[in-house]
Amino acid sequence: MQEVDFLAAHQKATKRDYIGRVTAHDKAECATIAKQWGEQYWDGPRQFGYGGYSYRPGYWLPVATTMAKHYGLKAGDKILDVGCGKAFLLHEFKNAVPGVEIAGLDISEYGIAHALPEDQPFLKIGNCVKLPYPDHSFDFVYSINTFHNLKAQELKSAVQEVERVGKQKKWICVESYRNEREKVNVLYWQLTCMSFYMPDEWAWLYREWGYTGDYGFIFFE
């Protein structure tokens, strides 16, 4: 188990007005709407979530390629995205490694319904606390910006489910903070987070719950 960063370039390319997030709108109301995981969260105004999230050909390909190279993925491998949303990164794995088999799960019916049509047959609507897949059925399991949205008791189950359905190659990425400034920023910016921990706390929880895969973080500098 080790910390690996696959998202630094994408994270730094995003500009955020942390103070505006709190003052421009009723943030509590925005968070309530965001947690419905519907159209407003994905494709509504920015204060509710993504502010519009559509497929941009090749945008996620460098990330998929880097991850595939790091874990030595090859044709025939089965890949699962836990919290896949519209599954655009999952789609790019098919371009990065032709011949891989993909699967994705997300709680958002809207997200799954607005995935690319060719990917929808491989996606399921569901909760990550109980994955509808057999033990050790995937060569690579990953989850990005999903598990911090869970309560503690749900988080434990979700981490252990990743461990159960995966083989050796696993990676979980969550939002975190390393200092008080980043803590304030994540509290200002987040709409859906329930679990707030520093990196060493996340690592401790992973070990306590028997997780053997890798992990990464998103920081709000």
pLDDT at 132 over 70: yes
What pLDDT shows up at residue 12?
Answer: 66
**Of the ranges 20-29, 49-58, 124-133, 150-159, which one carries the lowest mean pLDDT score?**
20-29
CA proximity to 34, closest of 50, 55, 21: 50
The confidence score (pLDDT) of residue 42 equals 96
pLDDT at 115 over 70: yes
CA atoms within 13 A on the CB side of 204: 5
Average pLDDT, the chain: 94
Does pLDDT of 11 surpass 80?
no
Q: What is the dihedral of CA 103, 105, 108, 111, to 10 degrees?
A: -20
pLDDT digits (tens, 9 = 90+) for 12-42: 657 788 888 888 899 999 999 999 999 999 9
Q: What is the pLDDT of residue 151?
A: 92
pLDDT tier at 203, thresholds 50, 70, 90 = very high
d(CA 194, CA 187): 10
Mean pLDDT along residues 171-186: 96
Domains along the chain?
A: 8-218 (3.40.50.150)
Q: 166 and 213 in contact (C-beta within 8 Å)?
A: yes
Q: What is the mean pLDDT of residues 173-194?
A: 94
* Residue 202 contacts residue 143 (beta carbons within 8 Å): no
pLDDT reading at 10 higher than 80: no
96-104: long-range contacts, CB 8 A cutoff, minimum separation 24: 96/61, 96/64, 96/65, 96/67, 96/68, 97/64, 97/68, 97/73, 99/74, 99/75, 100/73, 100/74, 100/75, 100/76, 101/76, 101/77, 102/78, 103/78, 103/79, 103/133, 103/138, 104/80
The pLDDT tens digits of the residues spanning 41-96 come to 999 999 999 999 999 999 999 999 999 999 999 999 999 999 999 999 999 999 99
